[in-house]
Structure 1
Amino acid sequence: MTVWNCVMAVDDDADILLAFKDVLEMEGYCVMLARSGREALDLLQRGARPAVILLDLMMPDVSGWEFRERQLADPSLASLPVVVISGQGVSARDVATLGVAGYLKKPVDLEQLLGTVERYVRPRQSQPQHA
């Protein structure tokens, strides 16, 4: 399931996931959702390869911190870019220790979100068409 033009959003808050899905799909992006770090890892281990992962840090089960540790330990997943999206209690300095591609603070500014996603994946309608 190689989906190079998709965004994977990982958050334990269903409302946030649905908001990301709605906004990103309206802009023409393919979106995969995971409600935990464990679910995201399962999708990746089954072959999903999103262009970028939007990762919440504070989740039960497998936190974003643990997800990132496991991701980096797997050579087939380590190069997938991750943008942390987190709220209270996390500083940019804390996030920098994760070696991620970016950091957005909750509540997320939609223009920042779309600009960040655009760096990694083009919307579906702008993909070249092959006969």
Structure 2
Amino acid sequence: MTLWNSVMAVDDDPDILLAFKDVLELEGYTVLLARGGREALELLRRGARPAVILLDLMMPDISGWDFRERQLADASIASLPVVVVSGQGVSARDVAALGVAGYLKKPVDLEQLLGTVERYVRRPQPQPQHA
């Protein structure tokens, strides 16, 4: 289930997930939604390979910190880029300790969100036209 334009959003707040889905799908992305760290890990273990994972830190089942620890321990998904999306005051040191690709503060600025996602999505290269 590897799609060049897929984004996984992981958050326990259904309103945030719906907002991510609406905004990103309008921009042409395929969006996978996970209502927590456990569901996200299950999707990844079943073969989902998003271009980037948008990860909330404060979730009741498996926190973003625990998700990241489990992700890094699994070689098949360890290299997937993660951007933390959190309302918590996360310091640069916290982000560095998680080894994530970036951080977006809630409420998320839409331009920042789209710019961040764009950096990780691998657009298909146009094929040369042969006459």
Give TM-score scaled by structure 2 length.
Answer: 0.91
Match of 1:50 in 2: 50
Query: Alignment RMSD, CA only?
Result: 1.7
- Determine helix, strand or coil for the equivalent of 2:98: coil
| Matches of 1:103 and 1:12, distance apart in 2 | 18
The structure whose Rg is larger is 2
Match of 1:121 in 2: 121
Match of 1:64 in 2: 64
| Matches of 1:56 and 1:127, distance apart in 2 | 31
Match of 2:76 in 1: 76
AA aligned opposite 1:36: G
Q: Is the 8 A contact 2:51 2:122 kept in 1?
A: no
In the TM superposition, what whole-angstrom CA distance separates every residue of 1:23-79 from its partner, at most 9, and x where no partner exists?
Answer: 000111110000000000000000000000000000001010000000000011110
Give TM-score scaled by structure 1 length.
Answer: 0.91
Structure 2: tracts of 5 or more residues without a match: none
Q: Does 1:12 align with 2:12?
A: yes
Length, aligned pairs only: 127
